């Protein structure tokens, strides 16, 4: 707030000083006198004026605005309204008899009191297991459940054996807090920075609050600009949602983006971002004084920061040295075997794609799975050789 609300007594002192400096008819102003009452009345009026000025400032300057004032400010400036809550997504490992079918909308997976559903119906291949993406039915940050917490499915298909989320769920978000909303309003300069990806992010976010970022895929054979849109929680936008963003965003496009091509009035195409899955396994020695479950969570948090979608740039690679250093930096990890870490080479992420951690195995120095304290993670449903290096060729085909 720029305007400081001055106390009544201080304003009275200013009035008294100004009065005595401009007249010799009065030598003092005592309590209960007429001039004291006048001083109080003027001071109170001045304080009310200061209050009204500060209210106006709260509608003009985001640093001093809160609550509904921020909402009004965003509306006046043409900025997307406060973002609502979002659902989380997670990869689970399903072990079942080959041919077992899991139907989207029918089979409900549960973990930590929250339900997760399939994005698409899947059938287990001859390998006997698959990694599948789920989305939570509820929304909010609480749906970012911990690893190894999703362990049941209902109804259970015939042939089902085991399900577990090796990596924590992510993308769940509460309604946007004042601090985040304020930062987005202050970033409104991107709205007037035309012909930039940041500008288009602001435009599309105005009509779809789950837009995280926009990536340039270049021109296709028809000369149209292809843009990949990534969501906050990794869920693909429907064809209707992409078309809605394209249609309503028309008024913000440049002439180049609106060039006619004989088929429609747009020179751009919106697509969903493709995610490049990364499976990680590591042999570690955990200090006996640390809880293995907590160490597992901290390792996953550290790894997630290494492949943060918000800051990923085209042309970057996932260096396995960065991944192994992320594991080594966690408190409680005494040693990590470099020669058993997977992936053990630099992973090249194709242009226009974002890396996402799909599988995660935490092994001891002998290569045995480090089970959780609740006994949910059951090593019996893993190959005798647990390292992902052994399964890499299989996983790439799933």
Last residue of one domain, picked from the residues 252, 272, 292: 272
Higher per-residue confidence, 281 vs 256: 281
pLDDT one-digit tens code per residue, 115-165? 999 989 999 988 888 999 999 999 999 999 999 899 999 999 999 999 999
How much is the pLDDT for 137? 94
Helix (H) or strand (E) holding 133: strand 129-136
Asked whether residue 309 is assigned to any structural domain, the reply reads: yes
Q: Per the structure, how many domains does the chain have?
A: 4
**283 and 261, same domain (yes or no):** no
Residue 102 in this model has a pLDDT that exceeds 90: yes
Q: What percent of the chain has pLDDT over 70?
A: 88
Full residue range of the structural domain in which residue 119 is found: 89-164
How much is the pLDDT for 357? 92
Helix (H) or strand (E) holding 336: strand 333-336
Asked whether residue 234 is assigned to any structural domain, the reply reads: yes
**159 and 207, same domain (yes or no):** no
Asked whether residue 177 is assigned to any structural domain, the reply reads: no
Length of the chain measured in residues:
398
**318 and 378, same domain (yes or no):** yes
How much is the pLDDT for 100? 95
For position 193, which CATH number holds? Answer: 3.30.300
Residue spans of alpha helices (H) in the chain:
8-21, 34-60, 68-76, 178-186, 189-192, 197-207, 239-248, 292-306, 320-328, 388-395
Residues 199 and 252: their CA atoms lie apart, in Å, by 9
* Overall average pLDDT of the 66-92 stretch: 82
Residue with tokens 């990949």: 228
Looking at residue 339, the DSSP 8-state letter turns out to be G
**281 and 257, same domain (yes or no):** no
* Overall average pLDDT of the 215-231 stretch: 86
Asked whether residue 81 is assigned to any structural domain, the reply reads: no
How much is the pLDDT for 109? 96
Looking at residue 351, the DSSP 8-state letter turns out to be T
* Overall average pLDDT of the 62-84 stretch: 76
* Overall average pLDDT of the 318-340 stretch: 93
Residue 256 in this model has a pLDDT that exceeds 60: no
Asked whether residue 71 is assigned to any structural domain, the reply reads: no
280 pLDDT band, cuts 50/70/90, is very high
The reply to whether the predicted model has a pTM over 0.85 is: no
**259 and 243, same domain (yes or no):** yes
Last residue of one domain, picked from the residues 164, 180, 209: 164
**298 and 374, same domain (yes or no):** yes
């Amino acid at each position: 707030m720029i305007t400081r609300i001055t106390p009544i007594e201080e304003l009275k002192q200013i009035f008294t000083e100004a009065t005595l400096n401009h007249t010799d008819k009065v030598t003092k102003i005592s309590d209960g006198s007429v001039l004291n009452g006048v001083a109080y009345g003027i001071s109170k009026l001045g304080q009310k004026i200061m209050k009204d000025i500060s209210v106006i400032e709260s509608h003009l300057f985001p640093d001093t605005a809160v609550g509904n004032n921020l909402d009004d400010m965003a509306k006046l400036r043409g900025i997307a309204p406060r973002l609502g809550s979002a659902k989380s997504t997670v990869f689970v490992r399903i072990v079942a008899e080959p041919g077992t079918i899991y139907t989207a909308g029918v089979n409900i997976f549960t973990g930590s009191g929250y339900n997760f559903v399939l994005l698409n119906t899947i059938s287990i291949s001859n390998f006997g297991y698959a990694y599948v993406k789920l989305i939570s039915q509820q929304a909010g940050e609480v749906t970012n459940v911990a690893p190894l917490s999703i362990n049941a499915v209902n109804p259970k298909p015939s042939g089902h054996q085991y399900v577990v989320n090796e990596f924590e769920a992510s993308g769940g978000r509460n309604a946007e807090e004042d601090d985040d909303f304020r930062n987005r309003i202050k970033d409104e300069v991107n709205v007037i920075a035309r012909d930039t990806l940041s500008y288009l992010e602001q435009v599309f976010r105005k009509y779809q609050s789950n837009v995280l970022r926009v990536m340039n895929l270049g021109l296709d054979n028809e000369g149209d600009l292809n843009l990949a849109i990534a969501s906050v929680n990794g869920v693909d936008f429907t064809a209707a949602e992409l078309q809605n963003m394209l249609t309503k965003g028309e008024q913000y496009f440049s002439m180049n983006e609106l060039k006619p091509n004989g088929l429609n009035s747009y020179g751009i195409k919106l697509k969903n971002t493709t995610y490049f899955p990364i499976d990680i396994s590591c042999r570690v020695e955990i200090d006996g004084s640390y809880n293995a479950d907590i160490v597992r969570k901290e390792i996953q948090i550290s790894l997630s920061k290494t492949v943060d979608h918000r800051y990923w740039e085209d042309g970057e690679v996932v260096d396995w040295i960065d991944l192994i250093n992320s594991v080594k930096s966690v408190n409680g990890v005494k040693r990590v075997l470099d020669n058993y870490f997977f992936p053990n080479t630099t992973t090249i992420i194709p242009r226009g794609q974002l890396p996402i951690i799909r599988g995660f195995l935490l092994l001891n120095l002998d290569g045995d799975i480090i089970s959780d304290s609740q006994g949910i993670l059951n090593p019996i449903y893993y190959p005798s050789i647990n390292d992902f290096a052994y399964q890499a060729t299989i996983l790439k085909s799933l």
